[in-house]
Each structure stands twice: as structure tokens, then as C-alpha cells.
Homo-oligomer: A and B are copies of this chain.
Amino acid sequence: MKIVKVSGDVSIKRSVDSGTADQRAAVQKIIADVRASGDAAVKAYTEKFDRVLLSSFQVERSEVDEAYKQVSDQMVEVIREAAENIWSYHEKQQRPSWMTTEDNGTILGQKVTPLDSAGVYVPGGTAAYPSSVLMNVIPAKVAGVKRIVMVSPPSSDGKLPAGVLVAADIAGVEEIYKIGGAQAVAALAYGTESIQSVDKITGPGNIYVALAKREVFGDVDIDMIAGPSEIAVLADETAKADEVAADLLSQAEHDVRASSVLVTTSPTLAEAVQSEVAAQLSVLPRKEIAGRSIEDFGAIYLAKDLDEAVEVVNQLAPEHLEIVTGNAMGLLGKIRHAGAIFIGRYSSEPVGDYFAGPNHVLPTNGTARFSSPLSVEDFQKKSSIIVYSEEAIREHGAKIAEFARLEGLEAHARAVETRLKKF
């Protein structure tokens, strides 16, 4: 891990995969086929890509019951406790409809309504994370979404991972389909004979899933397209090098394109973390992945003071930020861009991945500049409410008509005047 003195703009080597022209064409063809042929196309693509011919896509209750037998009781309890924490945090994001009343009788407000339906994509293979099921489903549940559909590509024996099924059941999903890839996204967006379409699709996936989500966006809503995971640790001399190194590696093991960065004011810590990373890396099961990630996208930035360090963090706009400094809370107000902020040495990033409660679906790739963690609001929409009173239209009607005429919209002016002329 290189140690680099901060000077001016910190240019970050980012890695965005927006797909090749071939991949985009392939995804467009899959979506067109599913729209044209429905279940038959989904079945054919599932056979082609997942190497299993399914007679029916939907997961049966017996499969969920079977899954419980394959997960230890203790682990089931941990998943339940995590689900409760996630539920409890997300409930606090709930915001009621509101209104204001004016003396003249006018009422203005905002109505909050859950989406009718949501679809959650859960990747297959080694990226099939039960925690990801909880993090996507629970906000939708808290939001009040009545129909939540989960899709995930089956293994070649036609099954989904036990942990994923258990997590889905604990989160309260009652409709699960064993389909994946662009064909699953297309089925969720446009519906097939056996799968009704949904209003929004969330959840991570490979490049084909990401491209398919981008393609259907507008016909249905999607969450942000996720990039590789990122962590920045902002630390001074009070931080423990072994803890910082372990947290950096916990991101690095996700993906060779993950980015782990330390920003510190302490040359001593910089060097200590450098050797700790090397030492801990050498004994990690996923050391190939983590090693390449650290090599290609890892860095230790040495800043001259905390202000400069904070500025580096804001330029990075990291998905995860840990602040491990003497007065960590004092820096919170200065952090403008970060998906999740972990404060103090006990707030190790995995605490947030699984258990504490806040969502682990976070803006990556610098999009924390303008995006937020997945939340209850992502599964609700608002409607403005306008109850204009007779008194109000009497008082303001002529002005509204004048404004409409300034914009050349005569019918707008006349609509208001149709009322005015009756007074």
C-alpha cells in the first residue's frame, strides 16, 4: 500500500464498468425477447445461463422450510436480531403526510403513499448475501409496500441458497422466483404470464443486471447502479493500526475493484497500517482478491492537518467512511460526502454491513456527492395536495391569470377566470 503526501486535488482511480456494446446489445435482446415471449423466454434464458430447466419459477413453501434445516438455529437467531435492528432504524425514517391550513381556508400538503409493489434482485453464487435480502426488503416493508417480489438465479440443481431463503422469510417475502440476469429484470419490469410486473427494482447484480436495470429505468423505477465497494478511514495518531488495517481489508476482500483508503495526519500510523495490511493480508482466505484490490485501488494519504484530511475525504465521497480521531464527533459536521459514517474505533464497518440497523446499500463511485443510502423513502412517493379556497381564488386569481398570459398560455388564464367571472 503506497503512502502518498496530499498535494492539491486527490485524483482517485475509479473503476466504473458501463458494459461493452456487445453486452448492451445482448441485454436489449433479452429484454425484447421477454417482452415478446414472456415465460417461454425467461425459461429459455434460465436454461442457457443458469443451466437448469425449471417447470415453475416460484419457490414453494416447502423449499423455504427445507432451507431452515440447513441453517443453524443460532444463525437464524442472528439473522432475526439483525432484521429487528434494521426494522427499528428504518422505522425512524418514516415521515407522515402533512398539511398546512391558512386562515382563508386554503390547505396545502403532501401525501405519502407506499409503492404498490417492489422487486428485489439478489445475486447468485458467492455473492448471494442474506444481509442483502434484509437490507433491500425491510425498507420496502416498513414503507408499507404490499407486494414484495424477490428474484435470484438458481444454481444448476434449481435451488436458491438456504441463507437467502431464510433471510427472505424472516424479512417477510412471500413471492420468490428462481430467475436471474437481465431476463429477471425484464420479467419484473414488464411482467410475464406467471410473474406480475412491479413498480421498482432494487438490489445489486452483475454487469448484465446493471445494464438491464438502466434499460428499463423510466418504465419502472430502479435504485442506483452499484459500483465496487469503497472505504475511507480518516484517522489520527489515536487510531490502532491493526484495527484500521483489518477494516481496510474487509472492503478489499469484496472485489478486486474495491477501493480501501486511509487518510491520516500521522506518519507513524501510516507506516504501521502499511505493515499491518501486509501482515494481515498474507493470512486471509481471500488474499488474492484483497491483494489485487489493495494494490490497484488502495492508498494511504498523509495530510498535513485534519482540515486537509477532511477535504480529501470530501473529494473521495466514499461509500463508507470511518472516523477514528481524538474528537471524531467534532468532525461530523465537516463531512459533506459519504454514504455511511462510522465514528470511533468500535464502529468497525462490518457492524453496519450486518447488524447495527442502517442500510448497507450505499452510494458508490463518488455518487455520495448526490445520492443517499437505500431508505424507506425509496419505496414511497409523494403527491402534492392543493385545496384552494374561494377566498384565495378571489384574492389571487387575477395574478395567476396574468402569470399564465406572460407564458403565452391563454387556456390556463381562462381556466382561472372561469371561476372569477362568477363572483
**Chain B CB within 10 Å — which of A131, A369, A411 has the most?**
A411
Which chain A residues numbered 251 to 298 have a C-beta less than 8 Å away from chain B? Answer: 252-254, 280, 284-286, 290
A126 interfacial contact with B, CB 8 Å = yes
Chain B residues positioned under 8 Å from A414 (CB to CB)? 246, 249-250, 280, 284
Chain B residues positioned under 8 Å from A75 (CB to CB)? 402-403, 406
Knowing A348-B419, A406-B75, say if A373 contacts B369 (CB, 8 Å). no
CB 8 Å contact bits of A317-361 with B (1 = contact, 0 = none): 000000000000100100111111111111111111111111100
CA distance A78 to B401 in the complex (A): 10
**A370 and B98: CB pair below 8 A?**
no
CA distance A355 to B398 in the complex (A): 11
A194 interfacial contact with B, CB 8 Å = no
CB 8 Å contact bits of A409-420 with B (1 = contact, 0 = none): 111111110110
Residue of B whose beta carbon sits closest to that of A285? B410
Total interface residues on A, CB under 8 Å, equals: 118
Residue of B whose beta carbon sits closest to that of A115? B370
Q: Which residue of the partner chain, among B18, B163, B375, B389, contacts A406 with CB atoms under 8 Å?
A: B163
Knowing A351-B416, A382-B373, say if A388 contacts B356 (CB, 8 Å). yes
Give the number of times this chain occurs in the complex, counting copies: 2
Q: Which residue of the partner chain, among B74, B107, B116, contacts A369 with CB atoms under 8 Å?
A: B116
CB 8 Å contact bits of A76-92 with B (1 = contact, 0 = none): 00110110000001001
**B411 and A249: CB pair below 8 A?**
yes
Give residues in A with beta carbon < 8 Å to B.
16, 18, 71, 74-75, 78-79, 81-82, 89, 92-93, 95, 98, 100, 106-108, 110-111, 113, 115-116, 126, 129-131, 163, 199-200, 218, 220-221, 225, 242-243, 246-247, 249-250, 252-254, 280, 284-286, 290, 329, 332, 335-359, 362-363, 367-373, 375, 377, 381-390, 392-393, 396, 399-404, 406-416, 418-419
Known: A75-B402, A284-B410, A339-B384. 5 other contacts (CB 8 A): A95-B95, A108-B358, A116-B336, A246-B414, A358-B385
